[in-house]
């Protein structure tokens, strides 16, 4: 079905190898790692995860997070690292590590925000996710602070990007998470004026290259997409998608045949192809207006070495919300703002199924586990759907519906479910102020 069978064989081999290691009981902490935002677009787990839980059932442990944050937890070296902010004007930033075994706090680094800004649900609050680096972790905050912390909690280096490159002003703040390869950590600051993308050496914090940003609104994250001769660093902002050379920062191609693509991060499908999502206008009258902006984009290389990108196929009805489209078997899974799950054939874009779920709007990207897909509603309901027959397997919550006390979930605040990642045979859910480890202790 796929043009590049080598890629498919390689991926299947990796999944089988990981599963066999886990079954043999030899899995290490690194095997259960989630080192960067959306795991590089590989939103799938090779091991079984829990399907049943409640506020009083099958929760191994919980851990309180200082302040409030919207970033995805990073899991590496037996630690879970999250970022958060506190204070009326987000005066304080926090990078905290918890033990993946029992949720106990291992260390916490408290930092001063160099550019305080009113702490409100309408502006990002520690939204960029960190990455695991060879020496520890690198974290970035919307106030311009970039910091490297060792696995033992020692600050290795720190940079103030506002001091270096000027104020960061962006509509609703900065939300782009860090991306990384074996050589660099990539930082995307898509601000209103003079946006930029940069690569840094995680060991020293020094800039390897710095390039002009997209010049458009974006809350998505940069993503490394495999191509036949390496990788492209792809950034999606309203009205355009740009491919950069991750080694030099040079622009390789730009695609402008798209709109409403402010929030979804590209998801690799196979070499030269990636999924992209976009939303639509509010109201039922616009229910399919954004559909043609959802689909698979293909990167092509000409004989002269230049690159172009264009849609391989476009959706007819499916639209996205804040959660990005994911690969689910031979289909693309796309969830709209009402929690409707569309599955489209990965090769052709033809609709395979449509299922209305009780998850509601999702802000976390779905997770595929075997023949099931987990949909994480931002109000706290996780709906698990069978990819075989489209039926609901289970519906679960970590906290009471409506929130705890006066923490009713709303846009950017309250008891919002921001992220969920696999952690061995457990599921880790991140709320703004709390972590929940689901599954056997």
At 318-365, the pLDDT tens digits run 999 999 999 999 999 999 999 999 999 999 999 999 999 989 899 999
Check residue 176 and report its DSSP letter. P
| Nearest CA among 228, 394, 352 for reference residue 298 | 228
Structure confidence at residue 150 (pLDDT): 97
Q: In this predicted structure, what is the pLDDT of residue 280?
A: 75
Assign 399 to helix, strand or coil: coil
Instruction: Give every residue of the chain whose pLDDT is below 70, as ranges.
Output: 1-32, 281-288, 405-413, 441
- C-alpha 80/C-alpha 63 separation (Å) is 11
Which own/partner contact pairs does 145-153 have at CB distance under 8 Å and 24+ positions apart?
145/93, 145/111, 145/113, 145/114, 146/187, 146/200, 146/205, 147/95, 147/109, 147/111, 148/202, 148/205, 149/95, 149/109, 151/77, 151/79, 152/107, 153/97, 153/106, 153/107, 153/108, 153/109
E strand map for 230-339:
230-237, 240-244, 251-255, 267-270, 273-276, 295-301, 307-314, 326-328, 331-335
- Euclidean distance between CA atoms 188 and 318, whole angstroms: 28
Strand order of the β-sheet with 131-133 is 131-133, 136-140, 145-150, 155-160
Predicted pLDDT of residue 19: 39
pLDDT of residue 413: 64
Which pLDDT belongs to residue 408? Answer: 55
Q: Give the pLDDT of residue 29.
A: 41
pLDDT (0 to 100) of residue 407: 61
């Amino acid at each position: 079905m796929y043009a590049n069978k080598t890629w498919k064989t390689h991926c299947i081999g990796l999944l089988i190898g990981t599963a066999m290691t886990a079954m043999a009981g030899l899995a290490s902490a690194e095997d259960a790692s989630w080192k960067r935002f959306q795991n590089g677009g590989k939103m799938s787990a090779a091991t079984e995860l829990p399907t049943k839980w409640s506020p009083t059932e099958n929760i191994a442990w919980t851990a309180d997070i200082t302040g409030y944050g919207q970033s995805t937890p990073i899991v590496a070296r037996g630690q879970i690292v999250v970022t958060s902010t506190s204070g009326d004007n987000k005066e304080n930033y926090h990078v905290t590590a918890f033990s993946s075994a029992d949720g106990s706090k291992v260390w916490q680094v408290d930092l001063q925000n160099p550019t305080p800004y009113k702490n409100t649900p309408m502006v990002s609050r520690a939204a960029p996710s960190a990455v695991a680096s060879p020496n520890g972790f690198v974290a970035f905050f919307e106030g311009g602070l970039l910091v490297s912390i060792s696995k033992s909690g020692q600050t290795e280096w720190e940079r103030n990007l506002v001091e270096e490159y000027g104020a960061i002003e962006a509509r609703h703040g900065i939300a782009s998470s860090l991306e990384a390869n074996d050589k660099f950590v990539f930082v995307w600051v898509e601000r209103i004026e003079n946006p930029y993308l940069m690569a840094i050496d995680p060991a020293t914090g020094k800039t390897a290259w710095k390039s002009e940003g997209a010049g458009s609104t974006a809350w998505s994250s940069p993503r490394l997409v495999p191509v036949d001769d390496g990788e492209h660093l792809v950034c999606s902002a309203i009205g355009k998608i740009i491919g950069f050379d991750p080694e030099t920062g040079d622009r390789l191609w730009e695609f402008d045949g798209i709109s409403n693509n402010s929030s979804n991060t590209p998801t690799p499908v196979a070499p030269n192809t990636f999924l992209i999502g976009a939303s639509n206008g509010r109201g039922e009258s616009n229910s399919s207006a954004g559909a043609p902006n959802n689909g698979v984009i293909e990167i092509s290389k000409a004989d002269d070495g230049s690159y172009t990108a264009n849609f391989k196929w476009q959706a007819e009805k499916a639209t996205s919300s804040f959660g990005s489209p994911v690969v689910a078997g031979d289909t693309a899974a796309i969830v709209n703002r009402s929690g409707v799950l569309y599955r489209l054939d990965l090769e052709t874009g033809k609709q395979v199924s449509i299922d209305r779920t009780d998850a509601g709007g999702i802000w976390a990207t779905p997770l595929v586990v075997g023949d099931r897909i987990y949909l994480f509603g931002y109000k706290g309901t996780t709906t698990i759907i069978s990819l075989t027959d489209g039926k609901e397997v289970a519906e679960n919550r970590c906290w009471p519906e409506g929130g705890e006390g006066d923490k009713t979930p709303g846009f950017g605040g309250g008891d919002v479910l921001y992220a969920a990642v696999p952690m061995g045979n457990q599921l880790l859910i991140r709320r703004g102020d709390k972590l929940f480890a689901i599954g056997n202790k």
